[in-house]
Structure formats: structure tokens, C-alpha cells
Structure 1
Amino acid sequence: MATPVPAIAMPDGPVDDPAVWLAEDLERDERWIHRLSDGEIAELDRAVEAVLAKGLTAQRFIRDDFPLTALADTIAGWAHEIDNGRGFVLIRGLDAKRYDEDALLALYWGIGVHLGLPVAQNADGHLLGHVRDQGRDYQAKNVRGYTTSAQLKAHCDAADVVGLLCRHPAKSGGESLIASSLAVYNHIAKEHPEYLPYLMEGFHFDLRGEGATDNPDETTFHKVPVFSWFEGRMSCRFNEKTIVDGMRKAGQPLEGKALEAVKAVGELAMSKPFRYDMVFQQGDIQFLSNHTVLHARNAFEDWPEEERRRDLWRLWLNLRDGRPLDRNFADRMNTGPRGGVRVRAQAAE
């Protein structure tokens, strides 16, 4: 007798959540932008001076080492907004040119460790990484998009939150494109409900040689849902390229309605009225919820001078009191729920 397939949990109707928004909502209401006051910048400067005076550098100190008072409450508010509100914040007003690299890294890391717990972003164990063109071909096997200048389609990263600090913007292009994944879900539920069984069952994602084994063709051991309804909250995990590549590597190449469903998520996220275009200014810091916001990037042209080349500093963070997640949804890298990229043994030494 065949074992019955368990029913997939789904909401009764459209998702009602502050993270459901359209581009026009962000244009009309810019409360998602936090402009640092002189007092807040002075507080950050004092904290940077304190850690550097102790010989501590970014990735070498924890929240208690970076003393904040009023700003600590503000950052806690950002964490709440990211997980329970719109799903993102943009912090503006930081003059990046005032700081040398060590000081700016310490400032950014200090904000990050107040916001959450850093997670490894790659097999080299980087907790704070550079998003910049390394001359690699995004279409080559297991190449990650952040090491190229290519256009990146709508996707989520493998942590509760992704942060980007703009150290240097591109000569042209490279705009940050964001969309509410929950608004995309609501549209699909209304217009194409036939796609939901595929999206909520999920897919094997390609881990691009950075999984829990040394197999360069490793995929997630289980199918990870694109949309996961758990304890009354909807969360999203999406990357069209790693889904398509992962299902091919798993011997289950996508076709038919399943492929249509995956393509629909990416196309909707990058179309009106869902997509909002954001131009990074030098010193901007963007924090996004990976569970409710899809992000992408336009291709860019870089400056010829090495010191001016586009450089964004990236953090992956797990919130200390983040939303509950289904276990299979939360295990995105074969390293356990909310686990980051497995660090290679030689990198850890």
C-alpha cells in the first residue's frame, strides 16, 4: 500500500503581512530609509575607536565589544522591521571617505553583530565578503554571481538577512533591484494557482560545490520549498539558476508546469509593479530579509582604476530571535537549519 503524501500547508487566502508591498508603496513612503544623525555617527565613531584601541578588527569582535547606547535600540528596531515589517532597511548618511578600510570594516561589522549573528558565506569561511568583479564567467560551472559583473536575477541568500555596504559604486549600472516575494506569492495564488503545488513542494537547489560534501555536483539532500507556510508566516527561498541547475544535477530536469512556475517567480519579481530600483550611494548600507524580499542586480561597467572599482561588502546574518522556519526549508546548505556554507578544512586551519 502506497504511503500517502502529506498535505502541503498553505494559507487560506492571500498573505496579509507588512512585507507585502509594491514599488509604488516604496516611492510614496520612504520610511524604509534611515538617515543617520550626527549623534548616531558620533556614537559609531566612538565604538570604532574603542575596538581598534583594543587591537580588535572586523570579524574578530562580538556585540559586547562594540559599545552602543541609543543606537543599539535603533538597530533592534531595524531587526524588527526586517523580520516583521517591510523586510528591509536602507541606512544612509555615512561618509565612507572619512574612514580608512580597517575603521569602516569595524563600523560595518559592529552594526552587523548588533543586528544578528554572522554566517559563513563561502567554503573559505568568509563572514564578511566582497561583492566585486573578479573577471569570472557567471555561466561557467559553480561560479557564483557576486564574483562577476553580470546581471543577477531575482534570488535569496542562505541566511535570515543579507547586508551590503557600498564602499565604491560602479562607473555605471549595478543598481539594486528588490521585490516583495510575498506580493509575488499573492499574485501567483490569484492568477496561477496551478503553480503553487510545485513551488510549495520545492526543488533540489544546486550548492555550486559549497555543500556539506566534497562533491562539486552536490544538491540539497531534500527539496527546499520556494514558498513555505509555517506557523502563520510565509517565507521564500528562490534562485532560478540554482533550482534549474540543481534539478538537472539531481537527475530531475525541470519541464512543463514546474519550469513555468519557477520562471514565473523570477519574471514577476523583475517586472512592474513589483520591482523597485535602488541606486547605491557611497556609504549606503542595505539590509534585506531573505525570507520576504527578492533581490537582483543590473550588470555593471567598472572603473579602470583599481582603487575605484565597484566594491560592496556583504554580511550574511541570522537574527537572534528570527521567525520560526520549517526544518526542511531552513536547511538550505545541507548544514542543518539556518546553517551557512560548510567551511573547508584547509580554510579553517
Structure 2
Amino acid sequence: MAVAEVLGPGDWLGSELRDDASWRIRLTETHRREVLAAVHAAESEVTEPHRQEVLAAGREITRERFRLPTLGPVLRRVRDELTHGRGFVLLQGVPVEGLSERRCETAALGLAAHVGGIVPQGPEGAPVMHVRDTGADPSHARTKSYQHSGRLGYHSDPTDVVALLCVRPAKSGGLSAVVSSVAVHNEVVRTRPDLAEVLYEPWWHDRRTGDGPDSFYTKPICAARPGGGVSIAYGPDYLRSAQRSATVPPLTRAQEEAMSLLDDLTNDARFTLTMDLRPGDLQFLNNHVTLHSRTAYEDHPEPSRRRHLLRLWLTTG
């Protein structure tokens, strides 16, 4: 199998974008007022007896109901950048200050609905996942990456787009970092074409849903996309934890070497772009062409000041 480089705007280096403000979009005061008005309208339209159930399911938070006359066209450009451009955008200035947790959820859902379709998360099919340290042990087989404060390896989420709205940052740490997985892929093709071929073979992954066979599945790290390009699904933590199953074969020497190379490249300063997410920052990432990570963090002792992000999964198909 001959693997070739993938060209296009998704092939970028973090070192070239650190001083480039084009990937940041700051909301104007008009945009912020529109968001607050849309949040109020979205909640007012839900009758009180069914408010919690409807808002929790996200059924009423649609693009048509969450009207954003001037911000809507901006979010359509965000969608275009995600699907046809670099694959990431940072929206800044979402008015989360003073909003209740529920209203922050509504704002996140409404903004995301202008970018893509909401994908349910977790066993309960929640439209919004709360990312905060629950004290979970990161070494436990069922612990998810959003449940602890430890460092995360570079990975992609299992949907077209992941969006993260920062409500509160940590006391220290918790920095978000992004790399172009296309650029990493191309570097592997140039320097180790033998390992590039290994990335297109089946790999065992762990869903961390339990110890039964349904928790484990095979999927290539790299796959050709219809119409051209490449989709890259990587997560070293979940690949390594798949080894806990007696039915999963050990990683081959070539696989170990390929993972080591990917981890070296994704942590190379040439590729990484770091973001210190502040309250009101809404990060959008295309999981097919980017990988993201987070540094370990230390929280405030007061529960009301602890790090809190809202995660949404979106489809753009």
C-alpha cells in the first residue's frame, strides 16, 4: 500500500499560526446581546412543566429557534472553516458571565446549532457534557478523559466536530493544545513511509464502557475520506487501555514504533498551537483533521471557582 501526502489548508504548523489572529473570532457587543436575547427566548418558549426535560434533551435549541441575525452568518463561516479550511476556530466573548449553568448550556447549544447537528453523548445521550474534575482515577479502566485533572495525550473525539465552551478556567494549568493531524500524517509519510502504512491498518480501541467485548473494537488510525483527504482517529490512552482485554492482541513492534513517532510529533513545538481558554471562549475542532490535548491542572479549593467546560459533539454531514 502506497500512502501519499495530503495537501490543502488542513496541513498547517502551529509555529506558523501563533502570531496569526485569523483563527480567532471575537464577538461584538451586538453579537453578545443577540446571544443573551436568544437564550432568554429559547427558555421562555418552553413551558414550565417540561422545561428540564426539553432543555436537557436539546430538542428545542435549534438554529431556527435560536435566532442570531448578525452572528448567524459568522457561524456559517465558522462551519466552512471547519469543513473546508484549517479545521479549527476559536470564538471569543460568549457572554457566560452571570449566567446560570443551565443558561450556559442553552447558549452553547444555540451557538453550536448554527455550526452542525448536536450528537448525543454518554450512556444517557446528553447533548452537553460537563468537563470538570470529579476525582476519578485516570488509571481506572472506565474513567473518561473529561473526568480528571491529569494531562491528556493528543487525541480526536468520535464525531465530526467537538466544541468546548469555557465557563471557568482552572487555578493553574489546563491549557488546550491543537495540532494538525494532516501535518503530522504528512511528516510520517515523508520520514517513515513504512509506519505510515501501519496507520492505515486495523487497530484495537477501547470505548471504556466496561470489561465486556462491546468495549473493544477495531478501526484504522488513518482512513481515506470520500472525495479526497484523510480522516485521523487517534487516542493513545484509549489504544493502550485496550490492552487490558484478554481478547485484544498485544501491540506489534511496528504499532509501538508508530505510536511513539506520533506522540513525538504531536508534542513537537513546530506542530503545536496552545490556547489558554478563558471564560466565554468557544473552541471548535474538526476531529478528522486535528488532534487536541490538555495539560494537567490544579483547581481552586472552592467548588464555585473550579474549572468547568461544556463539551458538545456535532455532525456536519
1:93-172 alignment runs, 5 A limit: 93-172=93-172
Aligned to 1:228: 223
Aligned with 1:235: secondary structure?
strand
- Are the counterparts in 2 of residues 116 and 318 from structure 1 also a CA contact under 8 Å? yes
Paired positions, count: 306
Deviation string, structure 1 residues 230-271 (Cα, Å, up to 9, x no partner): 331111100012122325524311031111102221221122
Aligned with 1:296: secondary structure?
strand
For 2:228 and 2:59, the matched residues in 1 are separated by 37
Deviation string, structure 1 residues 296-315 (Cα, Å, up to 9, x no partner): 00000000001001000000
For 1:308 and 1:262, the matched residues in 2 are separated by 37
Aligned to 2:242: 246
Please list every run of 5 or more consecutive structure 2 residues that lacks an aligned counterpart in the other structure: none
For 1:218 and 1:44, the matched residues in 2 are separated by 39
- Are the counterparts in 1 of residues 3 and 196 from structure 2 also a CA contact under 8 Å? no
Return the TM-score normalized by structure 1. 0.83
- Are the counterparts in 1 of residues 173 and 297 from structure 2 also a CA contact under 8 Å? yes
The structural deviation recorded for 1:215 is 2.5
The structural deviation recorded for 1:194 is 1.1
Give RMSD over aligned pairs: 1.8
Counterpart selection for 1:311 from 290, 293, 308: 308
For 1:167 and 1:297, the matched residues in 2 are separated by 16
For 1:280 and 1:28, the matched residues in 2 are separated by 16
Aligned to 2:284: 287
The structural deviation recorded for 1:65 is 1.6
1:35-46 alignment runs, 5 A limit: 35-46=26-37
Deviation string, structure 1 residues 171-225 (Cα, Å, up to 9, x no partner): 0000001111001001100111110121011302111117xxx8266211xx312
Deviation string, structure 1 residues 118-164 (Cα, Å, up to 9, x no partner): 11221122220111100011111121111001100100001100111
Aligned with 2:80: secondary structure?
helix
Aligned with 2:103: secondary structure?
helix
1:278 and 2:275 are equivalent in the alignment: yes
For 2:99 and 2:136, the matched residues in 1 are separated by 30
- Are the counterparts in 2 of residues 132 and 312 from structure 1 also a CA contact under 8 Å? yes
For 2:42 and 2:95, the matched residues in 1 are separated by 20
Aligned to 1:300: 297
1:52-71 alignment runs, 5 A limit: 52-55=43-46, 57=55, 59-61=58-60, 62-71=62-71
Please list every run of 5 or more consecutive structure 1 residues that lacks an aligned counterpart in the other structure: 1-7, 322-349
For 2:102 and 2:253, the matched residues in 1 are separated by 51
Aligned to 2:42: 51
- Are the counterparts in 1 of residues 136 and 148 from structure 2 also a CA contact under 8 Å? yes
Aligned with 1:25: secondary structure?
helix
For 1:10 and 1:111, the matched residues in 2 are separated by 38
- Are the counterparts in 2 of residues 32 and 89 from structure 1 also a CA contact under 8 Å? yes
The structural deviation recorded for 1:39 is 1.4
- Are the counterparts in 2 of residues 168 and 308 from structure 1 also a CA contact under 8 Å? yes
CA change 1:202–1:9 in 2 (3 A) is farther
Which letter maps to 1:282?
Answer: P
Which letter maps to 2:203?
Answer: F
Q: Give the percent of matched residue pairs that are identical in Structure 1 and Structure 2.
A: 35
Deviation string, structure 1 residues 63-102 (Cα, Å, up to 9, x no partner): 2221222322211110110111111110112342142333
- Are the counterparts in 2 of residues 161 and 287 from structure 1 also a CA contact under 8 Å? yes
Q: Which moved more, 1:243-252 or 1:269-278?
A: 243-252
For 1:131 and 1:45, the matched residues in 2 are separated by 23
Structure having the larger proportion of residues in strand: 2
Return the TM-score normalized by structure 2. 0.91
